[in-house]
């Protein structure tokens, strides 16, 4: 069973009293509602209650929440995740990782989130691998998995894009092509004429593109360009007309290590720290005891509430 999804939960706030009120308003008699202070998971002096879980559940979209809380396994996993968060929060308090007054304005579960985030950042810092070790591991991956880094043939292109596909737009495109072939500066022409704002701001630069990332018409036109600086004929598309300029051609194969180093180093570093976090979560999880009868009762009450909500 996974115990690491808690690292991505969102923020929320709902008091236990509001939870009970919501159950009553939904049509569930108060006598049937599970007590907000009933333990669902406990261990090592840390307790996660039904009220904690109801508060955390507010982050789930309403359309999904009811069905989720009817499932005992889902309820148990949520409670275990909250337990891990709370233990980390207690460690953050002992280390005085966060002492700002803003914490006092948050409810208990939101405080757990803020403090456990601080603890995770502390954990990352304490276990940050040496740059030399990360680089060595990145290089080893590169050498051991060449197929992973193999890339297809690509072209680096400049583009001028004109909206529309009528004859007037095509005529304008032909005029631009003629001016470019006579020596007009492509970057300046792109800034002045291209309707694709993102590339126009960069002088028309589209970066490297493989054939698979383009429509068939654009791919055929782009890969037909042979010499750096070559200008295509106007290429009609669904939204308008494209004019392409070849800037560079890149052969298929495995790129040099230096081209993938930064991304690979970031990946290695992230993987190491993710494993550290997962191991810490597993150690904390081993201390927790799920209170199965209470979890099943919580799920039953959630199911009863959803049934009473139906017209």
Q: What is the mean pLDDT of residues 236-263?
A: 95
| Domains contained in the chain, CATH given | 5-128+272-309 (no CATH), 151-250 (3.10.50.40)
- Is 147 a residue whose pLDDT tops 70? yes
The answer on pLDDT for 15 being more than 50 is no
**3-class secondary-structure state, position 1:** coil
Residue entry with tokens 């709370």 = 86
For the chain, the average pLDDT equals: 89
Contact 39, 47 (CB under 8 A): yes
Location of structure tokens 């990360």 = 134
pLDDT value for 28: 37
d(CA 200, CA 257): 31
The candidate with the shortest Cα–Cα distance to 57, out of 91, 92, 12, is 12
Does 308 score more than 90 pLDDT?
no
Q: Is the pLDDT of residue 89 over 70?
A: yes
Would you place residue 14 in the very low, low, confident or very high pLDDT band (cuts 50, 70, 90)? very low
Is 80 exceeded by the pLDDT of residue 298?
Answer: yes
Report whether 178 contacts 208 (CB < 8 A): no
**pLDDT tens profile 160-185:** 999 998 999 999 999 999 999 999 99
Structure token pair of residue 20: 């009970």
Q: Which residue has the higher pLDDT, 94 or 305?
A: 94
For the record, the structure tokens of 30 come out as 């108060």
Structure tokens at 94: 């002992």
- Single pTM value for the model: 0.69
Mean pLDDT value of segment 231-247: 96
Picking from 111, 53, 79, 110, the residue whose alpha carbon sits closest to that of residue 288 is: 79
CB 75 within 8 A of CB 40: yes
């Amino acid at each position: 069973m996974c115990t690491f999804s808690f690292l991505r939960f969102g923020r929320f706030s709902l008091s236990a009293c509001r939870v009970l009120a919501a159950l009553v308003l939904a049509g569930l008699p108060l006598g049937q509602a599970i007590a907000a202070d009933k333990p669902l998971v406990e261990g090592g002096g840390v307790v996660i209650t039904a009220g904690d879980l109801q508060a955390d559940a507010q982050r789930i979209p309403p359309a999904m929440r009811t069905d989720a809380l009817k499932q005992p396994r889902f309820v148990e996993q949520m409670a275990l995740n909250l337990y891990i968060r709370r233990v980390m929060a207690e460690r953050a308090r002992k280390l005085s990782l966060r002492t700002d007054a803003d914490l006092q304005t948050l409810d208990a579960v939101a405080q757990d989130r803020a403090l456990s985030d601080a603890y995770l950042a502390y954990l990352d810092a304490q276990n940050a691998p040496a740059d030399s070790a990360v680089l060595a591991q990145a290089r080893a991956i590169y050498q051991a998995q060449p197929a992973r880094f193999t890339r297809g043939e690509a072209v680096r292109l400049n583009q001028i894009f004109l909206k529309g596909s009528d004859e007037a737009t095509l005529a304008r495109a032909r005029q631009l092509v003629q001016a470019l072939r006579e020596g007009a500066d492509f970057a300046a022409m792109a800034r002045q004429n291209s309707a694709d704002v993102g590339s126009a701001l960069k002088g028309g630069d589209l970066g490297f593109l493989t054939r698979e990332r383009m429509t068939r018409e654009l791919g055929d036109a782009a890969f037909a360009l042979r010499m750096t600086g070559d200008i295509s004929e106007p290429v009609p598309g669904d939204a308008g007309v494209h004019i392409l300029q070849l800037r560079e051609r890149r052969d298929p194969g495995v790129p040099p290590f230096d081209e993938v180093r930064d991304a690979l180093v970031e990946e290695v570093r992230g993987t190491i720290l993710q494993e550290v976090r997962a191991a810490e979560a597993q150690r904390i999880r081993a201390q927790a005891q799920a209170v199965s009868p209470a979890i099943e009762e919580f799920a039953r009450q959630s199911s009863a509430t959803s049934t009473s909500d139906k017209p």
